[in-house]
Structure 1
Amino acid sequence: MTDIGIMSYGIAVPYLRLPVKDTINVWKNNNVEFINQHFGILARTVVNSDEDTLTLATDSAKMALTNSSLKAKDIDSILLGSCSTPDIFKSNANQIMSFLSNKHTYFGCDIRSSENSGMSALALGYSLLKSQLSKASLVIGSDTLCKNIFPSELRESYTGAGAASLILGTEDILAKIVGIGNSNAAFSEQCRTEDSRFIRILANLNTAVIQEGLVKRCVNSINNVLSNCNLSLNDIDHFVFPENIGNIPHILAKALHIETFEDKKEFEKLGYLGSASPLISFLITLEKAKIGDKILVCGYGHGSGSTAIIFQVIKKPDFDHNLNTYLNYYKNIDYASAMKAEFKLSQPDIALGTFI
């Protein structure tokens, strides 16, 4: 059977950064040391006035195509996983394709499953190739959640934006997909209704909610993919979890009885990137992994569920640049400048009711 996997990849994150201390110094609603040390976040990415989910997605896609032997005209399916698209009616994926090529004979659609959207898109891309409905699929996970967090919200200091693009195919692959697992439930944690800009918290941000939502779903999806592949945790060389901030990775590692887990320091000046978080974390891991290593990547979307995918490294990436070089190119700005860039100097949404 022909292996299906990643042929190329690219990422995009905003150039601007907002230090955690600048946000907390304004609202006095959190502890700088707690976020810096307990969450491991020093700053978050800031979406500039000329950036959104689509521009970041397009930039990451261009990088993936630059690193690939394929051209945009060779892509016959494009899947955008995002929960912060600028348009909720027409296809945002098709808009991205129009930025890349004038081709029209392709399959394109948006995938929305809160912050698990990127992983869900990856699973669908794999299924398109597996069923031979597609030969080369451009899979994108992109979010600008910082624009959807209202000023003074507790997550404002560490929620950012970013995008990752992966080209799936069957030739000259860097890492093959070994198997996929899922676990979903309609657990009401967060939501964003049709007429609302900002994400609403439906359940308190506490340990019990994390255990019932993220931990239960992720452990279930990880066990599901291991069972599907006839593998055990001992067969996995690298673990990538949905959130790379705070104690979440360590809580999951403990729940799975994983004794050693390496923190991703690359996110300390990025923050939480939503649908792009597990994908960017995976690509960072891929660049460090050895040939033959197995990488388990787990995503999670609040109020949606979890998707886990196991990859096996086939060959090392041989691109002109590594991701760390790109991620370390940034400029710090102050809180007022960030609010201006993200168009938050406007009247906040007015709640219609407790759960709306």
Structure 2
Amino acid sequence: MNSVTDLSRRIVQYRFGDPHAVLRVEEDVAVPPLSEGEVRVRVARSIIHPGDLQLVEARYSQPTPAIPAGRVPGLEAAGVVEEAAPRALDGTGIALGSRVAFFAPGAWQSRAVVPAASLVAVPDDLPDSVATQILINTITARHVLRTALRALPVTPRRIVQTAAASAVGKLITVLALKNGLAPIRLVRSPESARRLSTVLPGEDIVDTSSSDWQDAVRKAAGGDVPVVFDGLAGALLGDIAALLNMGGTIVSYGALAGRMADLNLFVPKALTLRSVTIGTWRSDTTPDERNEDMTEAIRIARAVPEIHGGYREFDLTDLGAAIDAVSAPGKAGNVILKF
């Protein structure tokens, strides 16, 4: 018979589809035993990424009709290490009782069994609500910049960013500035522009709802737009293509717009569309690069804490409201589940 400490509360799905229809909260679920290299984390907070909900829907894959054993969504959480397999924590600097964040499947449960290699130690000055936001978005931003800059023949002076007020967009800005690049940041409303200028002050924030936004970008860039980092796709892709230099590059890392993209100018202008996904992060990087990415996530969270502000927290009893908040108009921060 399981003891209380061997039980978990979890969000689970038994089929793919609309998150409102297929996600449910289960209580008193048995926690599996640890295998070699694994730890058990008592989860305090877990973020809902838009991509998490896309995986629940199986939007970009052919799903099985049912998931008999159930699938726990979520890829990122923060909590405390409760248990570890023998030698799993050796050389990590992490011990039982350490506060950690992790990037691994099955995050939406109160006791998650994950690989020890997925952990990063969380300093005392970072609350769980911030710690759960830092890994995937920072890793994505670093992976996007690293992959794109290595592929470009010349490092550009200026870059253009869409979705610059998004979590990943703000991190790309911080990392670009650190690398000596000057970003021109595109947002979709005056309110987004105002909020972004408060969080990350600086010039060259352009509101694409204005009639002359393309002229504003050309002026800021001095007519030289070799590369755009795009997290939206959709109809804006055609407008971006019109701005790019002949032979320019669009680095695509997301599709927040959720609409068909306009590729009509890609052949006449000999443009390149380069896609970068965190799904290939582990295979595309060395162990040292992965460690640096996770370390940088902590550094940025401590140095620029306002990047991770504006979040909203939800109890599991408000799961439906949390799902709605992920794509709510005017969303200003991340959506976090409390366990």
TM-score, structure 1 length as denominator? 0.26
Structure with greater contact order relative to length (CA < 8 Å, sep ≥ 6): 1
Compare CA radii of gyration and give the structure with the larger one: 2
Q: TM-score if structure 2 supplies the norm length?
A: 0.27
